[in-house]
Amino acid sequence: MRIPMPDLYIAGGLFALSQLTYFLIMLKFIIPLVLFVVLAIFLALGLNLNPHDIPSPFINKPAPAFSAPKLTAPTEKLSTNDLKGKVWLFNVWASWCVSCRAEHPVLNELAKQQAVMIIGLNYKDEPDAAKQWLDTLGNPYNVSIMDADGRIGIDWGVYGVPETFVVDKKGVIRLKYTGPVTPEAIQQTLLPLINQLQAEQP
Amino acid sequence: MKIVMLLLLLLSPIANAVDAYQFNNPEQQAAYQSLVSELRCLVCQNQPIGDSNAELAADLRRQVYEMLQQGKSKADIQQFMTERYGDFVLYNPPFKAKTGLLWLGPVVFLVVGLIAVFLFTRRKKTVPPSDSVGEDTEKLAAVRRLLTDKDTENLS
C-alpha cells in the first residue's frame, strides 16, 4: 500500500502548529483585554447601582401591625386590622421632606383614579405643618396616621422618606418603592400589581 | 449677642448627638457601645449609628437602649434590626447565599491572582528556550547542509 503524500501531512501539521503559536501569542493580548472588559462592566454596574435602594426584607412578609392616631382626628385610631381584606398603598411622607413635594402631584393623580386605598404615614412631623401641607397641596390619602416619634417607621424599616409599600388583601407586603414615586413607576409597576391584587380573593 | 446666638446654633447639633442614657451596669453600657458601633446608619451609609447625627440614627440608638433596658440580648437586638432593615444594617453580616460574594469575593480574586502570577512566571521561563531551539535546529541543519556540500565538493 502506498503511503499517501506524507509531505501534505507535514505541511498540515506545520500549519496547525503555526496557528497554535499565533493563538498563544495573541492570548497575551486577549487576556488583559478580557480582564479589562470584565472590570469595566463591574465598575459600570457599580456606578449605576443606587446604594439607597436596599432590598427590603419585608417583601411577601406580613405587614407590621400598627394602631396610630389619625392626623385629622387625633382621638380616632387606625389599625392594620381595619385594613384587612383591602389592597392598600402605605406611603410614608412628611412636610419637611423635599422629595415628597415632588411626589405629591403623582399621588394626587393616582388618588383620582380610585384604583387603591392610599394610607399615609405622617413620619416625624408637626401635625399643624402636616395639615397645612395637605390643605395647600391636596390630600391624596384616604387616611393619614401620625408617627411622631418614628416608631412605626422603624417597624416598617423606613430609612428615607418618601417610601411606598403595597399591601395585599391578606395583609402581606408585596412591593416596596423607595424614593419619590414617578408616573412611569405608577403605570409600569404599581398599577399592574394593584389590579392583580384587587382581583385576588381576600 | 449675635455672635453668642451663632455659636449656640453651631453647637446645637453636637449637643443633640450625645444621648444622655443611664445604664444599669457596665455590661449593659458595653453592649450598647458595641451595638451602636456595628449597626449601620441607613441614611449616611458609611457611618455606624453611634457616629451619626442623622435623626434615624438617633431613633435607632433609642431603640437599642430601650431594648437593652427591657433585658433583651445583643443577638435579639441584631435580629430585630435585620428583620426590619435586612443584613445591610449589620457591618458584620452573617455568611449565607446572598452575602457569599461579599465574603468569598476577595478570596476568589486572590486565588485567581496567584494562579495568574504562577502561570506567567512559568511561561516566561519555558517559552523563550523552545523558540530558540526551533531556530537553532534550523540553523544547524543549514550549517550541516553547507558542510556536507563542501565535503562532496572536496571529494570530487
Question: Which tens digits make up the pLDDT trace of A162-182?
Answer: 999 999 999 999 999 989 999
Cα A67 to Cα B104: distance, rounded to the nearest angstrom: 44
A151 contacts in chain B (CB < 8 Å) = 59
Query: Given this model, what pLDDT does residue B2 score?
Result: 65
A57 and A95 assigned to the same domain: yes
SS3 content of chain A, % helix, strand, coil (to 5): 50, 20, 35
B85 contacts in chain A (CB < 8 Å) = 54, 57, 157, 159
pTM for the predicted model, two decimal places: 0.70
A13 and A107 assigned to the same domain: no
Q: Which residue of B has its CA nearest to A156?
A: B84
Q: What is the value of ipTM here, to two decimals? A: 0.73
pLDDT level of residue A26 (50, 70, 90 thresholds): confident
A81 and A14 assigned to the same domain: no
Work out the average pLDDT over B18-37.
87
A61 and A23 assigned to the same domain: no
Q: Is B135 on the interface with A (CB under 8 A)?
A: no
Q: How far is CA A186 from CA A34, A55, A165, A190, B36, in A?
A: 40, 19, 12, 5, 38
Query: pLDDT exceeding 70 applies to what percent of chain A?
Result: 97
Which of B43, B82, B83 is opposite residue A159, by nearest beta carbon?
B43
Task: Please determine, for residue B15, whether its predicted confidence score (pLDDT) is greater than 50.
Answer: no
Q: Which residue of B has its CA nearest to A149?
A: B59
* The one-letter amino acid at B34: S
Cα B127 to Cα B138: distance, rounded to the nearest angstrom: 18
pLDDT level of residue B9 (50, 70, 90 thresholds): low
Q: Which domain holds residue A149?
A: 53-199
pLDDT level of residue B8 (50, 70, 90 thresholds): low
Cα A19 to Cα A17: distance, rounded to the nearest angstrom: 5
Phi, psi for residue A119 in degrees, rounded to 5: -105, 130
Using alpha carbons, select from A185, A62, A197, A184 the residue that is nearest to residue A116: A197
Classify residue A5 as left (phi > 0), alpha (psi -120 to 50) or beta. left
A119 and A33 assigned to the same domain: no
A89 and A142 assigned to the same domain: yes
Structural domains counted in chain A: 2
Q: Is A157 on the interface with B (CB under 8 A)?
A: yes
A105 and A164 assigned to the same domain: yes
For B71-100, what is each residue's pLDDT tens digit?
999 999 999 999 999 888 898 888 887 778
Which CATH number is A170's domain given? 3.40.30.10
Query: pLDDT exceeding 90 applies to what percent of chain A?
Result: 68
Cα A189 to Cα A168: distance, rounded to the nearest angstrom: 15
A18 and A79 assigned to the same domain: no
Place of cell 446645637: B12
